[in-house]
């Protein structure tokens, strides 16, 4: 079958348009947007997200499943969620954050690599820095590290809408997780509800998500 679409036009020896070298594909074009590929065929983008900063990797929810705008549900058993991710999964990104929401009470939440808590925040009683995003007690917490110190730190930047993030000046563009000694790329990543305002860690429904963005380059 002969090729179907005209992708290159030469008029009087001058090339007026030439799509034959284009690299855009449906998979790399943002979902819903239209273009033409190198063959001249019309395409509709299927990429779920993209753009932002000088990133080489699109913003991506790392945790599997999509419920409630990309938030995956899980049930807290012993106050710990196995995210299914490893340290190596997070190290593929320049920045990332996690988000936790509980259906009840205000948590004292954290992120663990293996059995070590490397980031945590208290949502109640620590001041205005950690506040609820909405009436459903949603909060977005940064993964915050002191590089070289496997202990706890935290000085997240906060957006007007109470979303928290770590600034690049903090991370210095390094694979900061890797800079924390004592961890292996295969160590598992957990999210945990460490305390429930002093209440016992009982079974609560927790929604959570881990997102990464900005591939290291």
Shortest spacing between CB 109 and another protein, in angstroms: 52
Rounded Cα distance, 62 and 184, in Å: 19
Shortest spacing between CB 29 and another protein, in angstroms: 17
Closest to another protein by CB, 13 vs 125, is: 13
* Sequence-ordered strand ranges (E) for 45-179: 60-61, 72-75, 80-86, 93-102, 108-113, 116-122, 138-142, 157-158, 164-165
Rounded Cα distance, 101 and 206, in Å: 6
Residue range at the interface with another protein (CB under 8 A); choices 5-13, 53-61, 104-112, 141-149: 5-13
Rounded Cα distance, 31 and 29, in Å: 6
Among 24, 25, 35, 40, binds another protein (CB under 8 A): 40
Q: Is 23 in the site for another protein (CB under 8 A)?
A: no
Rounded Cα distance, 174 and 78, in Å: 33
Shortest spacing between CB 45 and another protein, in angstroms: 19
47: DSSP letter: B
Q: Is 3 in the site for another protein (CB under 8 A)?
A: yes
Shortest spacing between CB 143 and another protein, in angstroms: 44
Among 24, 26, 28, 39, binds another protein (CB under 8 A): 39
Cα-atom radius of gyration of the chain, to the nearest Å?
A: 22
- How many of the chain's residues bind another protein (CB under 8 A)? 19
Among 30, 41, 58, 216, binds another protein (CB under 8 A): 41
**How many residues make up the chain in this entry?**
217
Determine contact, residues 19/37, Cβ cutoff 8 Å: yes
Among 5, 151, 168, 199, binds another protein (CB under 8 A): 5
Q: Is 13 in the site for another protein (CB under 8 A)?
A: yes
Q: Classify 105 in phi/psi space as left (phi over 0), alpha (psi -120 to 50) or beta.
A: left
Determine contact, residues 120/113, Cβ cutoff 8 Å: no
Residue range at the interface with another protein (CB under 8 A); choices 9-17, 75-83, 186-194, 199-207: 9-17
Shortest spacing between CB 25 and another protein, in angstroms: 12
Q: Is 11 in the site for another protein (CB under 8 A)?
A: yes
Interacting residues toward another protein by CB under 8 A: 2-13, 19-21, 38-41
């Amino acid at each position: 079958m002969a090729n179907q679409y005209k992708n290159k036009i030469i008029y009087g020896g001058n090339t007026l348009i030439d799509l034959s070298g284009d690299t855009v594909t449906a998979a790399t074009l943002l979902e819903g947007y239209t273009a033409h590929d190198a063959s001249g065929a019309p395409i509709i983008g299927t990429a779920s997200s993209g753009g932002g900063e000088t990133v080489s990797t699109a913003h991506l929810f790392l945790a599997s499943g999509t419920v409630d705008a990309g938030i995956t549900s899980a049930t807290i058993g012993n106050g710990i969620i196995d995210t299914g991710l490893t340290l190596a999964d997070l190290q593929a990104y320049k920045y990332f954050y996690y988000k936790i929401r509980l259906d009840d009470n205000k948590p004292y939440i954290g992120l663990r690599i293996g059995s070590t808590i490397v980031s945590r925040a208290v949502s109640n009683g620590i001041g205005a820095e950690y506040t609820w995003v909405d009436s459903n007690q949603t909060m977005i917490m940064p993964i915050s590290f002191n590089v070289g110190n496997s202990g706890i730190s935290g000085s997240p930047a906060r957006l007007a809408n109470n979303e928290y993030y770590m600034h690049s000046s903090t991370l210095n563009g390094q694979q900061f997780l890797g800079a924390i000694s004592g961890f292996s790329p295969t160590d598992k990543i957990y999210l945990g509800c460490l305390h429930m305002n002093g209440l016992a860690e009982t079974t609560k429904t927790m929604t959570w998500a881990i997102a990464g963005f900005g591939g290291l380059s």
